[in-house]
Amino acid sequence: MSYQDLYKESIDNPQNFWKKQAQQLNWYTFPKKILKANDKGSFDWFLDGELNMSYLCIDKHVNEGYGNQVAIYYDSPVSGRKEQITYQKLLEEVSKLAGGLISLGLKKGDTAIIYMPMIPQAIYAMLACARIGVTHSVVFGGFAPHELAIRIDDCEPKLIITASNGIEIERIIPYKPFVDQAIELAKYKPEKVVVYDRKLGVTYTTNKRDFDYENLVKNAQATPPVKLNANHPLYILYTSGTTGTPKGIVRDTGGYATALKFSMKNVYAVNEGDVYWAASDVGWVVGHSYIVYGPLLNRNSTVLFEGKPIKTPDAGTFWRVIQDYAVNVMFTAPTAIRAIKKEDSEGELIKKYDLSSLKYQFLAGERCDVATLRWTEQKLKVPVIDHWWQTESGWPMLANMVGVEPLPVKPGSASFPVCGYDIKIINEQGKECKPKQEGYVLVKLPLPPGCLLDIWNNTERFKAGYLEKFPGYYFSGDGGYFDEDGYLYITGRVDDVINVAGHRLSTAEMEEIVASHPHIAECAVFGVHCDIKGQKPMGLAVLKSGISNDVQKLSEEVVQMVRNEIGAVASFKDVLVVNRLPKTRSGKILRKLLRNIADKTEYAIPSTIDDVAIIEEIKSIYISNNIGIHKNQLT
């Protein structure tokens, strides 16, 4: 079947289409209610179905005779450790850990936070929670204690699972001490903490609430999976919001499993038994969907990589991993490719490795520039597929669906809507845009299975953020346009969330931190172009009257404040002191204008600006700090 035929079927008859896809899974109770409107203004899938994600990812394959197949290739250049974990071994580890969690009092409906580095125990913890109906929230290890505390207060976990430490190239990250600090900061106090000691010589304090991971598993009874309703929340995954307060995206079980299984074969062209590698982290949606649940559902061997594209030990590490595990399909962020390209622009390191197993290289997490896509195509000599999706969707929304029908690539475009996503480009007046006209990227309801169920404990925010701006549609928060051939181009966020190396971060939250410095009167933080990370945050600060501060010292203090509160993941390094900020007459800071000037993008000075002269001041400050100005300024 052609892409167009399959896509049309998914839009014209979504219930029948997704019922057929759901039949690819082993349900305890197959659903009779395929699609139903709910009181939130959205829709639920497979409401009366029963299944278990942990069973689908592990037990099913062992029961069918694939227990000796490798489920996880663990490769950690930062610790020098490698491990091959079969499906049988995975079953033993997960079922015992699930029993240990039950012994600590966890039960269906509870929540748990997982704050761990990229080690097998992180995957065990996710699957163990899924096995017993505990909703997990994985918090990315790059976040500082303050950010972890915010998430503790929001999801109120009964228990936190952590490790002694992580490793950032050669730097030790003190996970357990960070958890202790976060619990001190949080209003809500989790009852218990389970600690996996990596035995790397890192010391940490323990107290009454702490339990050793290995002892817990050693003394536990193996536990079978429990039957769960399809709408049972599998996990909460926090993503940055424009208010600065993270949003807890809630994912269901049945719809998500159906969508992931469909995507592995039809989007990524991955067959059962293939080796699949998503070079990301758990704690970001790519890690959840395509390091853990998607590949294991599809009986693939997934690669769990604890390292970086460069410096672990060099810019050839990705190609070494592809060779060592005969990876068939890989997925990473354009940032990683740009970092490799910077270190090895001629691709000399690529020539050292046998990449003959690789069929496709997928890129996502941020907009892929044409130069990066072309370089990757030329050096890897395989199709390079840019695709687009969000934490909220949980799986691809735009892609060249190579598992159905590979179509010509247009650099700069993430290709076509994936089956189930009825995407429209709508202008401010609610009218559909013509080709090449930029507007809001919307998805006509119902969304396909696997998309967000709600925002944790905040349905009103869910409705206000996604459903109310354009009734009948899901508002993606991104802008874009179709071309005459139906290819869709995503132009970027329309709010204050920026994308740093595939990580969505809130500039509003950074602004709050910068503004808290005692010498700063007001500030603006916005995303600017970065050749390596796609975007990076930049801050402009206005000092309080009478303050004469060492600008370098102030900048260092502010950067450290952001690092302490959000973490190194923010990549916040640039703060400029200015006399004032450009604003509208109503007082709104013109962040888009500031960004466009910094990015050398053509811009128009809006008629609503309160003082045009300030633009010249900002330009002169940019120039003195080697930040370029577009020659063809529009006035």
At 437-464, the pLDDT tens digits run: 988 999 999 999 999 999 999 999 999 9
User: Does the pLDDT at position 30 exceed 80?
Assistant: yes
The residue-averaged pLDDT of 181-195 equals 97
Q: Mapped to the 3 state alphabet, what secondary structure does 395-443 carry?
A: CCCEECCCCCCCCCCCCCCCCEECCCCEEEEECCCCCECCCCCCEEEEE
Alpha helices in 133-253 (DSSP H): 145-155, 175-185, 213-218
Whether the Cβ atoms of residue 538 and residue 559 lie closer than 8 Å to each other: no
Q: Which of 192-201, 206-215, 423-432, 485-494 has the lowest mean pLDDT?
A: 485-494
Residue 178, token pair as written in the block: 């960070």
Where does the pLDDT of residue 634 fall: very low under 50, low under 70, confident under 90, or very high at 90 and above? Answer: very low
State the pLDDT at residue 569: 84
**What does the pLDDT look like over 78-125, one tens digit per residue?**
999 999 999 999 999 999 999 999 999 999 999 999 999 999 999 999
Residues 6+ apart with CB under 8 A from 190: 113, 152, 157, 158, 159, 160, 183, 209
State the pLDDT at residue 189: 97
The residue-averaged pLDDT of 44-49 equals 97
CA distance 163 to 582: 46
Average per-residue pLDDT for the chain:
91
CA distance 473 to 496: 21
Instruction: Name the 3-class secondary structure at 524.
Output: strand
Whether the Cβ atoms of residue 53 and residue 28 lie closer than 8 Å to each other: no
pTM of the model: 0.86
Residue 109, token pair as written in the block: 């409906």
State the pLDDT at residue 242: 52
**497-624, CATH topology level:** GMP Synthetase; Chain A, domain 3 (3.30.300)
Q: How far is CA 424 from CA 264, 415, 480, 488, in A?
A: 25, 14, 10, 10
Beta strand segments in 447-555, E = 454-455, 473-482, 488-493, 497-500, 503-506, 520-530, 534-543
User: Does the pLDDT at position 631 exceed 80?
Assistant: no
**What does the pLDDT look like over 261-303, one tens digit per residue?**
999 999 999 999 999 999 999 988 999 999 999 999 999 999 9
The residue-averaged pLDDT of 340-359 equals 94
Where does the pLDDT of residue 633 fall: very low under 50, low under 70, confident under 90, or very high at 90 and above? Answer: very low
In the chain, residues under CATH classification 3.40.50.980 are: 87-226
Where does the pLDDT of residue 579 fall: very low under 50, low under 70, confident under 90, or very high at 90 and above? Answer: confident
* Domain 87-226 architecture: 3-Layer(aba) Sandwich (3.40)
pLDDT exceeding 70 applies to what percent of the chain? 95
Residue 296, token pair as written in the block: 């294991």
**In 10 A of CB 561, how many CB atoms?**
16
CA distance 355 to 68: 25
Where does the pLDDT of residue 221 fall: very low under 50, low under 70, confident under 90, or very high at 90 and above? Answer: very high
Where does the pLDDT of residue 488 fall: very low under 50, low under 70, confident under 90, or very high at 90 and above? Answer: very high
**What does the pLDDT look like over 118-167, one tens digit per residue?**
999 999 999 999 999 999 999 988 788 999 999 999 999 999 999 999 99
The residue-averaged pLDDT of 73-82 equals 97
State the pLDDT at residue 249: 97
Q: Which of 418-422, 545-549, 566-570 has the lowest mean pLDDT?
A: 545-549
State the pLDDT at residue 549: 65
**In 10 A of CB 512, how many CB atoms?**
16
CA distance 211 to 92: 20
In the chain, residues under CATH classification 3.30.300.30 are: 497-624
What's the DSSP call for residue 300? P
